[in-house]
Amino acid sequence: MPSDPTRFALPPAALRLRLDREALAHNWRMLDGWSGTATAGAAVKADAYGMGATVVVPELTRAGCRNWFVAHWGEAAVLLPHVPAEQIAVLHGPLNDADVAFALESGVRPVLNSLEQARRWYAAGGGVCHVMVDTGINRLGLAMGDLGDPVLQALTIDCCISHLASADEDVPQNAQQLDRFGQVRQQVPAQRYSLANSAGIMLGDAYHADLTRPGLALYGGIARAEMAGAIRQVAYPEAAVLQVRRIEAGEGVGYNATFIAPRPMRAGVIALGYADGYMRCWSGKGGLSWRGARIPVLGRISMDLTIVALDDVPGCGEGDWLTVDYDPVSAAAISGLSQYELFTLLGRRFFRQS
């Protein structure tokens, strides 16, 4: 007989993502301040980069944020109970009539990425929209050559945006895109203009226009070295010790015995694996901590489990919580993953406080 799980008290998860909400709000205020006369919005696509959009959006609303960028229409729906629809921009744009209908009914604003999308929106009665122009990343957006099309003059455009390809580097492409964006501003009539992501904010006033669109740095990522020390870590993954075991000298640990105990060891098995985004690249390399003491990963990461050395923390036992080393810059250097990947990989089994 099937039964109704809501009848039982679900026990707390052995895996949780602690968010430093003060750090999150602080990071937005820093980015808003660095944006000069422009205001900072927030890229909250991919569930606010894995942090949990339903936690992040109310927190950033309290900090003063009023502009939200998501990729998918479904992500906009998640935000609707929390913010006014007209503050939400869907970057992927309206691909078909169902997308247009959702936008018109909900009031969420599409980012139009092609003349086809612009015509589709205009034909449906349109209303206020955003437009993306490609100034050199060759990803989404109208081509520079499309800008003379009369449909663009007929639209009611709130924000005209473009996206920088290499703002995290000092390369000529940044100035080239800025120059093209200047041409865009001459040709596309809009209430507001927006160019900079997190890294782009650090390129200076010329890049700020009216609205900036930070994502990574909100969540503690160091998009450019200038941010170090000012942007604070937000995400602290924590996992509980499920079991403590003694391993004899010469025994293998985990799949394929890639670690052999050089001496008798005290090991802990924790509720964290690659299905949670703690990928196999952390095998033999990852680190955690308990009450300030360092705890290394032993051997391979499994799907749901990781084995760690508890020799130096005799007081740490079953049910105790370990914090994963997740400082974005050093975690990226050790794992080979980008800071973006480190955040967005954090899986659905993490309990996220609402």
Ligand X SMILES: *Cc1c(COP(=O)(O)O)cnc(C)c1O
Interface with ligand X (CB under 6 A), residue from 14, 56, 90, 91: 91
| Residue 340 Cβ vs ligand X, minimum distance, rounded to whole Å | 7
Binding test (CB under 6 A) with ligand X, winner from 16, 213, 300, 352: 213
> How buried is 319 (Cβ within 10 angstroms: 0-12 exposed, 13-18 middle, 19+ buried)?
exposed
**By CB under 6 A, is residue 136 in contact with ligand X?**
no
| Closer CB to ligand X, 83 or 90, in the complex | 90
Region near ligand X per CB under 6 A, out of 57-65, 99-107, 192-200, 246-254: 192-200
79 binds ligand X (CB under 6 A): no
Site for ligand X in 223-262 (CB under 6 A): 223
Per rule CB under 6 A, is residue 216 in the interface with ligand X?
A: yes
Q: Is 60 in the site for ligand X (CB under 6 A)?
A: no
CA distance 86 to 225: 34
Size, binding site for ligand X by CB under 6 A: 13
| Contact status: 27 vs ligand X (CB under 6 A) | no
Nearest-5° Cα angle at 32, 233 to 221: 25
Question: Per CB under 6 A, which of residues 96..125 are in contact with ligand X?
Answer: none
- C-alpha–C-alpha distance, residues 133 and 212, integer Å: 15
**Which of 198, 306 has the CB closer to ligand X?**
198
Among positions 43, 188, 222, 307, the unique one binding ligand X when judged by CB under 6 A: 43
Strands 259-260 and 293-298, how do they pair?
A: unpaired
163 counts as binding ligand X under rule CB under 6 A: yes
Q: Is 208 in the site for ligand X (CB under 6 A)?
A: no
Catalytic residues, which ones?
45, 255
Cβ of residue 133: shortest distance to ligand X, in angstroms?
11
Rounded Cα gap, residues 207 and 68, in angstroms? 19
Query: Binding of ligand X at residue 214 (CB under 6 A)?
Result: yes
Residue with Cβ nearer ligand X (68 or 278): 68
CB 52 within 8 A of CB 17: yes
Q: Which of 114, 117, 197, 344 binds ligand X (CB under 6 A)?
A: 197
Determine the interface stretch with ligand X among 7-15, 193-201, 242-250, 274-282 (rule: CB under 6 A).
193-201
Could you tell me if residue 10 is left (phi over 0), alpha (psi between -120 and 50 degrees) or otherwise beta?
beta
Binding site for ligand X (CB under 6 A): 43, 45, 69, 91, 163, 197-199, 213-216, 223
